[in-house]
Structure 1
Amino acid sequence: MSVVIWSDGVLHSPDEALVTGVDHGLTVGDGVFETCAVYGGEAFALSRHLRRLRRSALGLGLTEPDEDAVRDGVKAVLAASGPDTGRLRITLTGGPGPLGSHRFAPREQRQTVVVLAGPAVRAETSRAVRVPWVRNERSAVAGLKTTSYAENVVALAEAYRRGADEAVLANTVGELCEGTGSNVLVERGGELVTPRLSSGCLAGITRELLLEWSADAGLPVREARPGELPYEVLDEVVAGESFLTLSGSIRNVSPVASLDEVDISLGPVSVEAQRLFQAKVAEDVDP
């Protein structure tokens, strides 16, 4: 299935050139993005994703996105895409800029906005590995969804080399943080616990909804207390004493069936959380 692309009010094919070679998103990664799941031709939780796109853009120092224009692009690509479309991506960059890291002043910026729709593969379970690299919870872009994704590319390549589909990282102080494109949750003591945002992890939309929906349903899913989830908690998972789950826009809630090339069991609370999330998705496409 081909990818449908929209930019500057026009639909494009994947082989068309869209951005200049001096686009700051291309030269220095000066941009932000969002990825939404698509169900029945509609983008899931689009309003929440657009709010986070705005937060990331402002946090990076870009000017505020034109939400109406972005929504126009979303409508256009979804109307033109096929029934098997499963993913929507919105990318916003600083537009044409200097060759160095310094960007033009806000009044001189001409942002690039690209919206595309394409296929996605969603698995019921995930396979993860630990990697030696860490997230910097004190980074200038901690918690922002930026296009500066090189460290994720390297970590995920290592995961695939080892037969997994996600890499799980610590932060600089040895706390469990997140995956390259997912939030993590550890099931121990009958509770499903996810790292605090202060760990440096992204404020995932799926994570956010799971916490809200679980609270409403009485399911024991919560944020960790300070110091509760050191990276070594994953030793418990490998030993079968605890369980691991990933969450993300394409994965939704996905219990981990293998960690560090060791097959592990799925946690009962994790499985129930997965069922709850899928049921709620079916009720409201833009919660």
Structure 2
Amino acid sequence: MTTVWLDGTHVDGRATIPVSDHALTLGDGVFETLVVVRDRPFAVTRHVARLRASATAVGLPAPDEDAVRGALDAVLRADPAVGRLRVTWTAGDGPAGPVRGDGPGRLLVVGTPAPVPGPVRVWRAPWVRNERSPLAGVKSTSYQENVVALAAARRHGADEALLADTTGRLSEAATSNALVSDGAGLLTPTLATGCLPGVTRALLLAWSDALPVPVREGDVAFDDLDGRALALTSSLRGVAPVVALDGTTLAADDRVGQVAAAFAARRDDDLDP
């Protein structure tokens, strides 16, 4: 079942958005995806803050925090079985062409069942994440490059695509941040690679001292991943082990499993860290 909230109104499964909305015609908008844990949106404060920061970064007015929280609550009240919440803040209506209008933005929240996370197979894509792009670090509705990368990964027998930055460093996956084994710990690429400042990524770094395996930021060469333990992190995945890279099976690594279990336990204990 799909539950929809649009600009203050609960709509049962359907919403009408004008063809003049620039998120529809130009991909001009920002979004967040939250997982529901024990009937509550996890890390809602961090997600709302990132939604507002993304809007500001691309020159849109930031959505009202109370309005976003109220919309999330409304969807969960309408359907307590929702497992995933997608919040979209659009540029609103505008003229034909790329020039923005001056109308208000449009707030849309959609609740759906959550996918069941599991191990992931990844493929190194030939395209790059441009760390100098105006959309670097922004969770933008202009998502086509990720759609293309994921489709190519599926054609190569994988579930996700890994992307380098323009200098040859690992940046992230198309829809997730990445972890790579390094000595006794795990590394996640720095934000300087253009990766998204993921909420799960940020929490792993903040909780590093309390985790059984430390997680820290660092640079990793894109061509230096063979034979290393890998994992992907996101709100929906949590910490998911990578079981194959470019079609080659990777050995299970206790460090990834320990961090995944510790993160899941702490997430259940603190719903809004």
* d(CA) in 2 for partners of 1:62, 1:123: 33
CA contact (8 A) 2:212 2:258 kept: no
Match of residue 249 from structure 2: 263
- Cα shift at 1:266: 2.4
Match of residue 150 from structure 2: 156
* d(CA) in 2 for partners of 1:266, 1:206: 21
Match of residue 208 from structure 1: 202
- Cα shift at 1:188: 2.5
Aligned with residue 171 of structure 2, among 131, 153, 177:
177
1:273 partner letter: V
Q: CA RMSD for the aligned pairs?
A: 1.2
Match of residue 93 from structure 1: 90
The Cα offsets for residues 189-238 of structure 1, whole Å up to 9 and x where unpaired, read as 222001100010000000000111122346321000xxx4111122x2xx
Find the residue that maps to 2:207 and give its secondary structure: helix
CA contact (8 A) 1:214 1:273 kept: no
Find the residue that maps to 2:94 and give its secondary structure: coil
Aligned with residue 232 of structure 1, among 220, 223, 227:
223
Mean Cα displacement is larger for which, 160-169 or 170-179? 160-169
Instruction: Normalising by structure 2, report the TM-score.
Output: 0.96
- Cα shift at 1:82: 4.1
Aligned with residue 219 of structure 1, among 200, 206, 213:
213
The Cα offsets for residues 137-192 of structure 1, whole Å up to 9 and x where unpaired, read as 00011101100000000000111222221110001111100011100111132220
Q: Kindly, what percent of the aligned residue pairs are identical?
A: 47
Q: 1:115 to 1:17 in 2, by over 3 A?
A: closer
Aligned with residue 183 of structure 2, among 189, 196, 201:
189
The Cα offsets for residues 56-103 of structure 1, whole Å up to 9 and x where unpaired, read as 0000100121111111110110111143x2211100011001221111
Aligned with residue 115 of structure 2, among 121, 127, 134:
121
Match of residue 131 from structure 1: 125
Find the residue that maps to 1:65 and give its secondary structure: coil
Q: 1:87 to 1:243 in 2, by over 3 A?
A: same
Q: Indicate yes or no: 2:4 matched with 1:18.
A: no
CA contact (8 A) 2:131 2:192 kept: yes
CA contact (8 A) 1:45 1:285 kept: yes
Q: How does 1:3-152 map to 2 (within 5 A)?
A: 3-14=2-13, 16-83=14-81, 85-104=82-101, 108-152=102-146
* d(CA) in 2 for partners of 1:244, 1:124: 14
The Cα offsets for residues 262-283 of structure 1, whole Å up to 9 and x where unpaired, read as 1111222111110110110110
CA contact (8 A) 2:231 2:242 kept: yes
* d(CA) in 2 for partners of 1:124, 1:55: 30
Give every structure 1 segment of 4 or more consecutive aligned residues whose post-TM-superposition deviation is greater than 4 Å.
none
Find the residue that maps to 2:97 and give its secondary structure: coil
Q: Indicate yes or no: 2:272 matched with 1:275.
A: no
CA contact (8 A) 1:81 1:118 kept: no
Find the residue that maps to 2:122 and give its secondary structure: strand
2:78 partner letter: A
Question: Mind listing any 5+ residue stretches in structure 2 that lack a counterpart?
Answer: none
Instruction: Normalising by structure 1, report the TM-score.
Output: 0.92
* d(CA) in 1 for partners of 2:212, 2:270: 20
Q: Indicate yes or no: 2:162 matched with 1:168.
A: yes
Find the residue that maps to 1:95 and give its secondary structure: coil
CA contact (8 A) 2:163 2:173 kept: yes
Question: Mind listing any 5+ residue stretches in structure 1 that lack a counterpart?
Answer: none
* d(CA) in 1 for partners of 2:95, 2:118: 44
Find the residue that maps to 1:233 and give its secondary structure: coil
